[in-house]
């Protein structure tokens, strides 16, 4: 018989077993360890009290990890990963996990529930739709592993200046996009950086949020872009985005992985500039809200 327990009542080892089996054969390599899983919970703001594990007897066979935060005055939840052991897929385990999680959301007075699902995973998307989630956006994950071209993101616009800072500063920009996939919110880049674009009158006309990852020797390994936006009514949006991308990715001699995570397909300017610079689509997802 399948039973559901909160992760806070279980061992981390059981959580890791459920995670690794649940994401077996997934679209990305999601294999983890107790140390890495613990780090994920902390860095991504995921709560053991809000997360659940499914058991068949003593065997962990599935899980959902969750977080909750306030956005624009509303309590918003996000699903940080749903996985079911391949031997138990199609047997109702996923539905039991989701029903339990939705009950937890209700207990916690969650007003908006969000999640992302791989676009090709039609079975999961169908299940989420059956319990009330709706697709509100489509997302692409773009990556460049080769060197960046020396002429990438070159703009004729020379009246912009840029201010480096921390992610919370971008979140205070009037046109900051708060209701986006949880991984791209400023909260999930707390050890990251921000760039604010200013016009000749020192007015804010754009922002970017990104994170640089270093190895133990202090060598830069990767640069990940989370958000990059120009002021919506500005007539030179492309020049602004180009300037921001130049600030984030512009050192062409760096041999690092460059990524742009969960970019909305509606952001044509950003998508177009990244693809022109050689970024390729690594994955496609849908953003769902209940």
- Whether the per-residue pLDDT at 252 is higher than 80: the answer is no
Q: Identify the CA nearest to 210 among candidates 232, 183, 181, 237.
A: 183
- pLDDT at position 157: 63
Determine the straight-line distance between the first and last CA of the chain, rounded to whole angstroms.
29
Q: Which residues face 204 on adjacent strands?
A: 198
DSSP-derived secondary structure letter, 188: G
**Distance separating alpha carbons of residues 127 and 145, to the nearest angstrom:** 35
pLDDT, tens digit (0-9, with 9 covering 90-100), for 27-82: 677 899 999 999 999 988 899 999 999 999 999 999 999 999 999 999 999 999 99
pTM listed for this prediction:
0.90
Question: How far is residue 235's CA from residue 47's CA, in Å, rounded to a whole number?
Answer: 43
**How far, CA to CA in Å, does 74 sit from each of 81, 92, 117, 159, 257?**
22, 31, 23, 38, 35
Tokens 């000749």 correspond to 200
Q: Are 53 and 62 in contact (CB under 8 A)?
A: yes
Show the 3-state SS of 22-71. HCCCCCCCCCCCHHHHHHHHHHCCCEEEEEEEEEECCEEEEEEEEEEEEE
90-148 pLDDT, tens per residue?
Answer: 999 999 999 999 999 999 999 999 999 999 989 899 999 999 999 999 999 999 988 88
pLDDT of residue 77: 96
**Residues 10-30: tens digit of each pLDDT:** 999 999 999 999 998 776 778
> Is the model more confident about 152 or about 46?
46
All domains of the chain in start order, with CATH: 2-132 (3.40.630.30), 141-289 (3.40.630.30)
């Amino acid at each position: 018989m399948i039973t559901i327990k909160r992760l806070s009542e279980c061992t981390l080892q059981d959580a890791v077993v459920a995670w690794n089996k649940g994401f077996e054969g997934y679209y990305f390599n999601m294999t983890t360890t107790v140390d890495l899983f613990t780090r994920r919970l902390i860095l991504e703001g995921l709560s053991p009290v809000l997360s659940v594990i499914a058991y068949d007897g003593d065997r962990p066979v599935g899980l959902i990890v969750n977080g909750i935060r306030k956005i624009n005055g509303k309590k918003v939840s996000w699903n940080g990963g749903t996985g079911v052991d391949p031997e138990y897929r199609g047997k109702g385990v996923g539905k039991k996990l989701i029903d339990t999680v939705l009950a937890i959301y209700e207990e916690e007075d969650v007003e908006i529930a969000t999640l992302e699902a791989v676009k090709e995973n039609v079975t999961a998307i169908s299940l989420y739709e059956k319990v009330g989630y709706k697709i509100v956006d489509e997302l692409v994950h773009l990556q460049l592993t080769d060197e960046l071209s020396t002429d990438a993101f070159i703009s004729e616009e020379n009246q912009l200046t840029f201010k480096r800072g921390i992610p919370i500063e971008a979140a205070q920009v009037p046109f900051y996009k708060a209701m986006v996939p949880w991984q791209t919110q400023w909260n999930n880049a707390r050890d990251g950086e921000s760039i604010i674009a200013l016009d000749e009158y020192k007015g804010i006309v754009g922002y970017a949020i990104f994170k640089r990852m270093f190895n133990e020797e202090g060598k830069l390994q990767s640069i990940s872009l989370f958000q990059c936006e120009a002021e919506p009514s500005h007539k030179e949006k492309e020049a602004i985005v180009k300037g921001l991308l130049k600030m984030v990715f512009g050192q062409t001699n760096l041999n690092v992985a460059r990524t742009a995570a969960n970019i909305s397909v509606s952001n044509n300017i950003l998508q177009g500039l990244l693809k022109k610079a050689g970024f390729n689509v690594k994955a496609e997802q849908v953003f769902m809200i209940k």
